[in-house]
Structure 1
Amino acid sequence: MTETDDFAASVRAQLDGLWSVEDLRAGKSLDPVRDAASRAGWFDLGGEGAISALVAAARATGAAACPLPLAEAHVAATLVPAEVLGDLRVTVLPAGSRRTEAPTGIDAVLLLGDGEAELRPVLGATLLDGVPAPAWGEVELGVATWAGVPGAPATDRARTLLRLALAARAAGAAERLHRFAVEHACSRIQFGKPIGAFGAVQQRTAACQIDVVAAQLLLAAAARAFDDGSADAELAAELTHGFVAAAARRVLLGAHHTLAAVGFFEEHLGPWLFRRVHADVASAAALEPSRGRPVDRLVEGRGSLPAPGVHRSAPASAAETFRVEVRALAAELAGADRDTWVAALVERGWLGMGWPARDGGRDASVGEEAVLHEELTYARAPVEIELASVTLLGSAILAHGTAEQRARFLPLVRAGAMRFCLGYSEPETGSDLASVRTRAERRGDDWVVNGQKIWTTRAEQADYLWLAARTDPDAQPRHAGITVFLVPMTTPGIEVRPMTALSGERAATVFLDDVVVPDRARVGPVDGGWTVITHALAGERVVMGGVAAQLHRVLDDVLDAVRDDPAGIVGARGSARRHLLDRAVCDLQALRALVAHATGSEGIEALVAAPLAGVLGGELAESFAETLLDVLGPGALLADADGIGGGHVQHLLRQSVMYVVGGGTNDIQRGIIARSLGLPR
């Protein structure tokens, strides 16, 4: 555990004995908690890691439904001279406001204007009934004891820090109720089974888990950005706030739906967490900085989204140093054709770079491989099939192929000359790959294959079919009787009937009629194809960053055009169109954080993290394209290279449907997420 984790654990442990449902129901004063926190030094955070500690502690207080004003104390200490502040118990409000939480224990209020600040004593307070608990109050303020002009950058930073801490507290509260809901779903029996076995509960719980993890990652990354002194820290924090403000409420209500009446009555912590989330989200909304929301900063400034985090699988500098190298090549080859791109990748040894050196690779990390896919997708380099041949075929052949297969096919992959198509999906088999019906029967040294594959992308251009076929029809479980073959598309008995997808991409139905396949074309053991398939699919966590990178590139194209006429294209600040775009931008940053987490994870953690990013990526691709259409108007439906977004918005819209079904539908992926939380099948 880090020092930040230790501090958050200490906060949680002490709150367990200081703040309870009974205290909330009785309207207990926050003073004993403040006093204990003061003795423990929680209000004296400063120096290295201070913001990370604040954010972690805010999550812990949110989980206890306790509004301890740690961030407010930190902000006051950075703006008000120590000799003035002394031991005053201070909260922070926007200039002109008199409404604050738990006002009876507050000595003074620091009022933040746009560049100005003043400290005023609290003379009295009138409690206000409503959702918040502890209750908000209207405070009576005395004459200012201190006033200063720290400047708009300082007051903006203070507001953003407070919004980040309030978002963290709301996220902590929502996450706590989500954990209650998961436990309840596993133990609550209805209609003879745990309610977590019902599909609706699994889908909802998985959706909440995606929001919870994305919020955790964004909060931690934004806090680190402040601690590191990053120039993007405030933008990262505002993106985090924008996502969490919406996600915390989604998680909260999703958990309440699962808990039903159990979490509706005040003997349970649920109602108090409900009050906590809504109070914090509303309070943060009143603290918007003068620079506005993330979309305002992006539209009215320059640059793009900040990095969401460093891949943990490599030293911090390795993947990012490589990113610079890939970007330099992308700039050099902008607009180049496929052959030029492939030649450049082959020359640098980037195809198969993650393989061992003895097999032609360079032992690159997963993080570096992910960077390659992200940056080439962002650059719209026409090398999708060459990259896929590495992750979906090459690595599986490397792990499961014979010496002859490795010697024959790995050089083709490294040379960008391995053109293949995937023979997985069938008319009756989509996400349920274990149900393949295409049959391969052993006849001497050969196999005879009969069946049909469908939605087979690029089958017309492929030289080989990576084929999953059933070799034991009676195997239990079903996936135990599947074998993988790598079959030349010129083999007699293979018929390709082309089809065109909504996106314009060419695919096909592939018929296999008494196709004779030599046993040397088998990859891996007989009836052991499931391991080969899952090894190949594991490579998808490297390429999933492509969805986020594609959305990021479309966003940047739109921003480049919008900056020429912001008010005319997306309206003035506060407009409905800016609000829609802001939500989409914050969601995109959350997706990028989940992708970085998935590609930086290993083992079981990677298997759990990948579906989180995959589901959000698919759903965001759809909503992002729709949002851009709503913002930009009907012109976004045209494939006009000179239009806003260069015609890429309409292509994203048409392609987006595939992102929620390709490689397994999002419904199935959410089921995997739910079971990773312990919900029953």
Structure 2
Amino acid sequence: MTADDIAAFAGSVRAVLARDWPAPTSAPDADLGKLWGTAAGQGWLALAADGALAAAVAAARELGRAACPLPLLDAYVATGIIGHHAGVAARIGSGEMKVIATTGSAEDAEARHLDAAHHATHLLTIPAGGGTAVLRPLLEVRDTPGLAVPAWSDARLGEPEASAPIDQAAADEAVVLLRLQLAVRALAAAGRAHEMAVEHAKERRQFGKVIGSFGAVQQRTATCQIDLSSGDLLIDDAVHAFEHGAPDRLLSAEIAVEHARTAAPRVQLGAHHTLAAIGYFEEHDAPWLFRRVHGDITRLQTLARTCGDVADVLVEGTGSLPAADLGEVGEAFRAEVLELLEQYADRSDVSNFAFDRELAGIVADRGWLGFAWPEEVGGRNATLAEQVALNEEVSYHRAPISKALGAVMLLGNSILKHGSKEQKDTFLPLIRRGELSFCLGYSEPEAGSDLASLRTRAVRDGDDWVINGQKLWTTGGHEADWVWLAVRTDPDATPRHAGITMFLIPMNTPGITVQQHRALSGEISCTVFYDDVRVPDGMRVGEVDGGWKVITDALAGERITMGNIAAALHRQLDDLLAVVRTDAEGLIGPRGSAKRARLGSLAVGVQATRALVAAAIKATAQGAGARLEAPMAGVMGGELAEEFGEAVLDILGPEAALSAGFPHVPGGGAFEFGLRLSIMYVVGGGTNDIQRGLIARALGLPR
């Protein structure tokens, strides 16, 4: 089924629910049995016959939004395991046999904590470690009132009506799909509560203001949106992996489940905080969504599987996180990049501050710098997938050529679009050869995250401009040849960003003074003073007062390089796994230990960050601007970097706090450096607080 087919199917499910289960408030009184019959008539219970997992998951999302526990994936799993028995698949598809599924022994005569059992006719018991799956009728069902509405049930089971042998791998796959259903429903229910909270925040007034303008509400709302968006992307990745038979499909699904297990309750609670008292009373949908979220997440514990948690799969295996698929062209080019980088693995630099001119020249000789540009300027119109593959692998392998790639993305693309012919003829060849050494002149004492408030002035004087002002945090300014400088040329412009102009200026121009500062990471950043710096108009890039467009086009290129943090964290995770696998029991303890759980949380966070980065790149490529995806990826990646650095010290102890200069350091010194560098990720390019504000405004909340 195509994406349009899936969307249409989800719409049809929504239409049925609007009639038979119109809102979460229907949970106490709606007739689940009637809906079950309608679902059969609509073909929802026969999706397994077509392998239409994406459609089943889309329906589960709609059910979650309505706080409805109709067990569609139970039918999907049961059809796959036992449907070959005479008439069973047809009976499940028609709704005559209403099946729910759980884990247990073939000899079990009773089952507990069952959802939707009151309307079911049969229970499929799946042995988690393999054995015999058994289909039994439900003889007696006893509701057990509590958190879940409709209530869970305990049941007494009849004699087996059908059975099937099932090996451990098939049992794990079936159980993981059942777990995925709970995760999908819970996250969708939390997502619906979040949507209502956002709408409420746009309308509810307190202290003379709409509450959505309050910083605390915006920060919380943005955090919830990050959890939801990354969770949905991980679920989509898992479905894709199943439908394409990916060997790591179970890991993909368990990552999505683990993310939802922690994120869905967090989002639900965040929504209640915003809704406040209005969402506390049962006339509102929120209490019923609350019950669905926490009930479904709790029931994950009833579905045992032998493959273990995310950390167990990674630690006890030999692989890494599921790979992103960049398509045939992208993956073919990735292999080409890997072949080269493996030849020069000895030049890897943990800090990635170094610049290897020889290696940059080798990459340039292959035509990879600026290869996405048109042929007339030396490029070959490389695909977005190829650009992403190059940047990811360079970052993952810590190849010391990131400055050359940065020149392409941050300067080259803007010069290509806005530069004069002379500028293109001068700078594009330098960039293609990896020879343009530059720094960014953006931040100022009063203009950090709020770049539009910059004050460094450029005043026209005949054919020249005279620049006065000060720039802060100019990384690499002490060794750069050029500065990409944002200045104010119209102090009275409205809005403020309308009066900004861009220049590309030699750093040895008279009047430029550089003062060095060493950052926590060890990197040198500079305060740069501009005192009556006279430059010709030919150094201006783009229109006068049109610099904001030049800057935003440069940031569009940064969407590709933003994947570097995700790739860097992926590398740190693999380094951590390599250390832990040498003595898993000794370093992180047995299955179920707190340190294993923390390692699993890091792995889920890395994969979620990768998913958001991929979404931001895709949105940019489609011209959507990535107004939500880009800041979400930045926030999650930055905060995960902090968490990662702290967690590794907890997991490995003092050895992880030693630097690369000490022999035999775990991870080659990358762990302690990663922790020191992590602060930059949450403040560079706009603090995470500001980024969350951008997310909130993209959701429609006021300034």
Secondary structure of the residue aligned to 1:607 is: coil
**Are the equivalent residues in 1 in contact too, given 2:113–2:299 (CA < 8 A)?**
no
Secondary structure of the residue aligned to 2:475 is: coil
Secondary structure of the residue aligned to 2:613 is: helix
In 2, Cα distance between equivalents of 1:468 and 1:28: 61
Please name the residue that 1:303 is paired with.
Answer: 319
**Are the equivalent residues in 2 in contact too, given 1:308–1:589 (CA < 8 A)?**
no
Higher RCO structure, 1 or 2 (CA under 8 Å, sep 6+) = 1
Pick aligned residue for 1:90 from 95, 99, 121:
99
**Mapping 1:532-571, distance limit 5 Å:** 532-571=550-589
**Are the equivalent residues in 1 in contact too, given 2:645–2:675 (CA < 8 A)?**
yes
**Mapping 1:629-668, distance limit 5 Å:** 629-639=649-659, 640=662, 642-668=664-690
In 2, Cα distance between equivalents of 1:368 and 1:288: 41
**Are the equivalent residues in 2 in contact too, given 1:167–1:241 (CA < 8 A)?**
yes
Summarize the Cα distance change of 1:378–1:25 in structure 2 as closer, same or farther, 3 Å threshold.
closer
Moved more, 60-69 or 255-264: 255-264
**Are the equivalent residues in 2 in contact too, given 1:309–1:593 (CA < 8 A)?**
no
Summarize the Cα distance change of 1:49–1:425 in structure 2 as closer, same or farther, 3 Å threshold.
farther
Please name the residue that 1:257 is paired with.
Answer: 273
For 1:51, the aligned partner's letter is: L
Residues 381-405 of structure 1, C-alpha deviations (whole Å, 9 max, x = no match): 0011111111111111111111111
Summarize the Cα distance change of 1:527–1:605 in structure 2 as closer, same or farther, 3 Å threshold.
closer
Moved more, 188-197 or 54-63: 188-197
In 2, Cα distance between equivalents of 1:199 and 1:170: 27
For 2:81, the aligned partner's letter is: L
For 1:111, the aligned partner's letter is: T
For 2:119, the aligned partner's letter is: G
- 1:191, CA displacement in angstroms? 2.1
Secondary structure of the residue aligned to 2:683 is: coil
In 2, Cα distance between equivalents of 1:196 and 1:48: 45
Pick aligned residue for 2:116 from 91, 102, 105:
102
In 1, Cα distance between equivalents of 2:24 and 2:564: 49
**Mapping 1:335-414, distance limit 5 Å:** 335-336=346-347, 338-414=356-432
In 1, Cα distance between equivalents of 2:216 and 2:527: 33
For 1:509, the aligned partner's letter is: T
**Are the equivalent residues in 2 in contact too, given 1:447–1:516 (CA < 8 A)?**
yes
Pick aligned residue for 2:289 from 269, 273, 276:
273
For 1:609, the aligned partner's letter is: E
**Are the equivalent residues in 2 in contact too, given 1:24–1:134 (CA < 8 A)?**
no
Please name the residue that 2:255 is paired with.
Answer: 239
Pick aligned residue for 2:74 from 72, 75, 80:
72
**Are the equivalent residues in 1 in contact too, given 2:482–2:505 (CA < 8 A)?**
yes
Please name the residue that 2:162 is paired with.
Answer: 146
**Mapping 1:175-190, distance limit 5 Å:** 175-190=191-206
In 2, Cα distance between equivalents of 1:456 and 1:339: 22
Pick aligned residue for 2:235 from 193, 206, 219:
219
Please name the residue that 2:606 is paired with.
Answer: 588
Matching of residue 43 in structure 1 with residue 45 in structure 2: yes
For 2:113, the aligned partner's letter is: R
Please name the residue that 1:111 is paired with.
Answer: 125
In 2, Cα distance between equivalents of 1:478 and 1:23: 48
**Are the equivalent residues in 1 in contact too, given 2:27–2:150 (CA < 8 A)?**
no
Secondary structure of the residue aligned to 2:627 is: helix
For 2:416, the aligned partner's letter is: L
Matching of residue 445 in structure 1 with residue 445 in structure 2: no
Summarize the Cα distance change of 1:21–1:416 in structure 2 as closer, same or farther, 3 Å threshold.
closer
Summarize the Cα distance change of 1:511–1:49 in structure 2 as closer, same or farther, 3 Å threshold.
farther
Secondary structure of the residue aligned to 2:69 is: coil
**Are the equivalent residues in 1 in contact too, given 2:251–2:322 (CA < 8 A)?**
yes
Summarize the Cα distance change of 1:25–1:373 in structure 2 as closer, same or farther, 3 Å threshold.
closer
For 1:558, the aligned partner's letter is: L
**Are the equivalent residues in 1 in contact too, given 2:24–2:288 (CA < 8 A)?**
no
Summarize the Cα distance change of 1:220–1:506 in structure 2 as closer, same or farther, 3 Å threshold.
same
Summarize the Cα distance change of 1:42–1:149 in structure 2 as closer, same or farther, 3 Å threshold.
same
- 1:308, CA displacement in angstroms? 4.0
**Mapping 1:154-169, distance limit 5 Å:** 154-169=170-185
In 2, Cα distance between equivalents of 1:38 and 1:179: 30
Runs of 4+ aligned residues of structure 1 deviating over 6 Å after TM superposition are none
Secondary structure of the residue aligned to 1:306 is: coil
In 2, Cα distance between equivalents of 1:207 and 1:460: 37
For 2:575, the aligned partner's letter is: D
In 2, Cα distance between equivalents of 1:2 and 1:309: 21
**Are the equivalent residues in 1 in contact too, given 2:484–2:503 (CA < 8 A)?**
yes
In 1, Cα distance between equivalents of 2:497 and 2:357: 39
Please name the residue that 1:322 is paired with.
Answer: 333
**Are the equivalent residues in 2 in contact too, given 1:580–1:627 (CA < 8 A)?**
yes
- 1:478, CA displacement in angstroms? 1.3
Matching of residue 611 in structure 1 with residue 631 in structure 2: yes
- 1:31, CA displacement in angstroms? 0.5
**Mapping 1:487-506, distance limit 5 Å:** 487-506=505-524
Please name the residue that 2:351 is paired with.
Answer: none
**Are the equivalent residues in 1 in contact too, given 2:20–2:31 (CA < 8 A)?**
no
- 1:148, CA displacement in angstroms? 3.5
Moved more, 26-35 or 548-557: 26-35
Please name the residue that 1:313 is paired with.
Answer: none
In 1, Cα distance between equivalents of 2:23 and 2:283: 7
For 1:82, the aligned partner's letter is: H
Secondary structure of the residue aligned to 2:666 is: coil
Summarize the Cα distance change of 1:522–1:28 in structure 2 as closer, same or farther, 3 Å threshold.
closer
In 2, Cα distance between equivalents of 1:105 and 1:491: 80
- 1:142, CA displacement in angstroms? 2.3
For 1:363, the aligned partner's letter is: N
In 2, Cα distance between equivalents of 1:659 and 1:432: 17
Please name the residue that 1:620 is paired with.
Answer: 640
Secondary structure of the residue aligned to 1:580 is: helix
**Are the equivalent residues in 2 in contact too, given 1:451–1:513 (CA < 8 A)?**
yes
- 1:219, CA displacement in angstroms? 1.0
Residues 657-677 of structure 1, C-alpha deviations (whole Å, 9 max, x = no match): 110111111111111111111
**Are the equivalent residues in 2 in contact too, given 1:12–1:60 (CA < 8 A)?**
yes
Moved more, 190-199 or 389-398: 190-199
Moved more, 528-537 or 457-466: 528-537
**Are the equivalent residues in 2 in contact too, given 1:641–1:647 (CA < 8 A)?**
no
Query: What is the count of residue pairs matched by the alignment?
Result: 676
For 1:60, the aligned partner's letter is: E
**Mapping 1:125-144, distance limit 5 Å:** 125-144=141-160
Please name the residue that 1:456 is paired with.
Answer: 474
**Are the equivalent residues in 1 in contact too, given 2:514–2:526 (CA < 8 A)?**
yes
Secondary structure of the residue aligned to 1:517 is: strand
- 1:146, CA displacement in angstroms? 3.2
Residues 568-617 of structure 1, C-alpha deviations (whole Å, 9 max, x = no match): 11111100000011111111111111111111222234233211211111
**Are the equivalent residues in 1 in contact too, given 2:28–2:150 (CA < 8 A)?**
no
**Are the equivalent residues in 2 in contact too, given 1:467–1:486 (CA < 8 A)?**
yes
For 1:669, the aligned partner's letter is: Q
Listed as ranges, the gaps of 5+ residues in structure 1 are 311-315
Residues 259-284 of structure 1, C-alpha deviations (whole Å, 9 max, x = no match): 11121111111111111111111112
Please name the residue that 1:512 is paired with.
Answer: 530
- 1:641, CA displacement in angstroms? 5.4
So what's the TM-score if we normalise by structure 1? 0.97
- 1:25, CA displacement in angstroms? 5.7
Pick aligned residue for 1:332 from 343, 367, 372:
343
For 2:511, the aligned partner's letter is: G
In 2, Cα distance between equivalents of 1:243 and 1:480: 42
